[in-house]
Amino acid sequence: MKMSMGQTGRRWLGLAVAGVALAASRTASAELGQPAPWEYKLQEAASPVMENITWFHNYLTVLIVVITLFVLALLVIVVVKFNAKANPVPSRTTHNTLIEVAWTLIPVLILVSIAVPSFRLLFLELDLPKADLTIKATGKQWYWSYAYPDNGNFEFDSLMAQDKQPRLLGVDNEVVVPVDKIVRVQTTGADVIHSFAVPAFGIKIDAIPGRLNETWFKATKTGMFYGQCSELCGKDHAFMPIAVRVVSEQEFASWVEVAKKKFASAPGNTFASAAGAAQ
Ligand SMILES: [Cu+2]
């Protein structure tokens, strides 16, 4: 079958449209709180901090694109209009007050427009609001332990579960938190430096032996949210996922009652699971 140029063009256009539609449907079906195949964006936000991070990211991207296109346009104009062939006798102009004031002032204003939301975001992340509950996450080789000091002070280990989905993110014991409540997360390391990161909540904080770091999140949606130890240097940091289940306040209260009994002997079982994790 012979196709004219127009037909070929339309066919390619059709393919491109189908491709974009497929990509869009993939993004739409991407599950909340976990990575998706071919993902190129930030994970969908599920906390006020992450909403701000996403906004700031998009804002900066627009700014970068506009500036880059502007500089590119200037370069093209210079190359085309002022090359030796097109402009054999160059002008000897050295000063232009208006342009000099503009190219000093405009970048300053652009930087201020970045600095203001940047500092606002930084304060939002670092200035902890009054917490409704505290969770202490201790990074160990190679799993996390969680303690609930405000809810009966029980503690349990959370190890990657080989048989659970999503692969490499499922754990045996999930962290459970109530929705729309301010959760203070305290982190420390029992052996080496770990890092506690949950993308959908916009949190990432080092867990350092001998030190107590803290951050916070307020989950605005219920469901499962996955994160990962994001410390790089060490054998199995990549295999100590963080799985957070966000539930209603009532569900959280009943979970606490069950967990208190289930994990009553927790400090002892830390060693048992450490031995299990080593295998
Ligand atoms: Cu780690």
* Cα–ligand 1 centroid distance for 226 (angstroms): 15
* Cα–ligand 1 centroid distance for 162 (angstroms): 17
Both structure tokens of 244: 């957070």
pTM: 0.82
Q: How far apart are CA 208 and CA 139, in angstroms?
A: 8
Residue 194, pLDDT above cutoff 80 = yes
* pLDDT tens, position by position, 35-74: 998 989 999 999 999 999 999 999 999 999 999 999 999 9
* Cα–ligand 1 centroid distance for 33 (angstroms): 20
pLDDT mean over 236-263 = 96
* pLDDT tens, position by position, 83-136: 999 999 999 989 999 999 999 999 999 999 999 999 999 999 999 999 999 999
* Cα–ligand 1 centroid distance for 157 (angstroms): 14
Q: What is the CATH number of domain 48-87+94-126?
A: 1.10.287.90
Give the side-chain half-sphere CA count within 13 A for 163. 1
Q: Provide the 3-class DSSP secondary structure of residue 138.
A: strand
* Cα–ligand 1 centroid distance for 176 (angstroms): 20
Both structure tokens of 127: 């200035």
| Contact of 247 with 259, CB cutoff 8 Å | no
pLDDT mean over 203-230 = 97
> Where do the structural domains in the chain lie, given as residue ranges?
48-87+94-126, 133-266
* Cα–ligand 1 centroid distance for 130 (angstroms): 28
* Cα–ligand 1 centroid distance for 65 (angstroms): 36
| Contact of 234 with 143, CB cutoff 8 Å | no
Residue 278, pLDDT above cutoff 50 = no
Q: How far apart are CA 108 and CA 56, in angstroms?
A: 18
* Cα–ligand 1 centroid distance for 196 (angstroms): 8
The amino acid at residue 98 is L
Which residue carries 């969770």 as its tokens?
A: 135
More confident residue, 52 or 15: 52
Spatial CA neighbour of 33 closest among 223, 260, 235, 239: 223
| Contact of 181 with 226, CB cutoff 8 Å | no
Assess whether the previous peptide bond of 103 is cis (omega < 30° from 0): no
CB neighbourhood size of 27 (10 A): 14
- CATH class of the domain at 133-266: mainly beta
